[in-house]
Amino acid sequence: MDKPSADYIKQMMIWRYDCQMAAMILTRVPMQIDYPPDRNIAMSYWAFPLIGILVAGISAVPGAILLLAGVPALAVAAVMLGVAALLTGGMHEDGLADMADSLGGHDPASRLQIMRDSRIGAFGVIALVLVLVIKLACLAELAQQGVTTLIGAWLAASVLSRAMMALQAWSYPPPDESGFAHSVGRPDQKTMLIAMGLGLGLAVLLSASLMVFLAAGFAVLITFLMGAAFHWHLGGINGDGLGATQMLSSAVIFMVMAIA
């Protein structure tokens, strides 16, 4: 085998490992992977938008069937959100709730301690309810515009919001030397740019709507605002912060797409 062919196969294997690692980080799909020990796990962040397609694609199937069968749009939206949460283990929702609960802490150390508590508090419940209501309302409106519009926006928000996680992780360091975010590390600029480019390209292709560019702009804005707030609040971005980023950026994307 000549050298170019061997290099190509090696690169393909790295891409496969990255996709598998991204799936392990973002979903509860069982799999085993022998990730290269010399490769930083954070380098798999470029594949986050691809996992967005996996999660949104699977959860879109029952939604499309129910909508075509005449089930009310609000119920369809609830089913799609529920299936997506099952696939991810509700980790993004948990991150949003933990981040909201940390508002009860008086300093970064106490806030991080609150976030490590598995119990959910009043702030967490309120944040989850508000964000889920926003998503339900926007998805119901999109469903009224037709199944193609609904699924296109659903897929676009899924890939873009996970690209925002890569952007957030690149922008700020973890708040301390413990926890998942520190063990994974931070993606480099190249990895982040690939994730952003892939997320935007896939969102445009899957939604066939130019509103994606506006939605992406607002998603980037909310990501940077949240990052600055989290950095002040905690001293950095942890796994819960990335989950909250996915939840809030996807809600913003849905709102923009719903007014198209």
Q: What is the pLDDT of residues 14-45, one digit of tens each?
A: 888 899 999 999 999 887 777 777 788 899 99
What predicted TM-score, i.e. pTM, was given to this entire model? 0.92
Q: Name residue 123's amino acid.
A: F
Q: With contact defined as beta carbons under 8 Å apart, do 135 and 77 qualify?
A: yes
Tens digit of each residue's pLDDT (9 = 90 or more) over 147-202:
999 999 999 999 999 999 999 999 999 987 777 777 788 999 999 999 999 999 99
Mean pLDDT of the chain: 92
pLDDT at 3: 57
Instruction: Please give the Cα distance from 2 to 233 (Å, whole number).
Output: 54
Q: Which residue has the tokens 């529920």?
A: 82
CB 45 within 8 A of CB 187: yes
The H or E element that residue 165 is part of is helix 147-171
Q: What is the DSSP letter of 38?
A: T
Distance in angstroms between the alpha carbons of the first and the last residue of the chain: 53
Using CA atoms, how far apart are residues 67 and 112, in angstroms rounded to an integer? 42
71: confidence class by pLDDT, cuts 50, 70, 90: very high
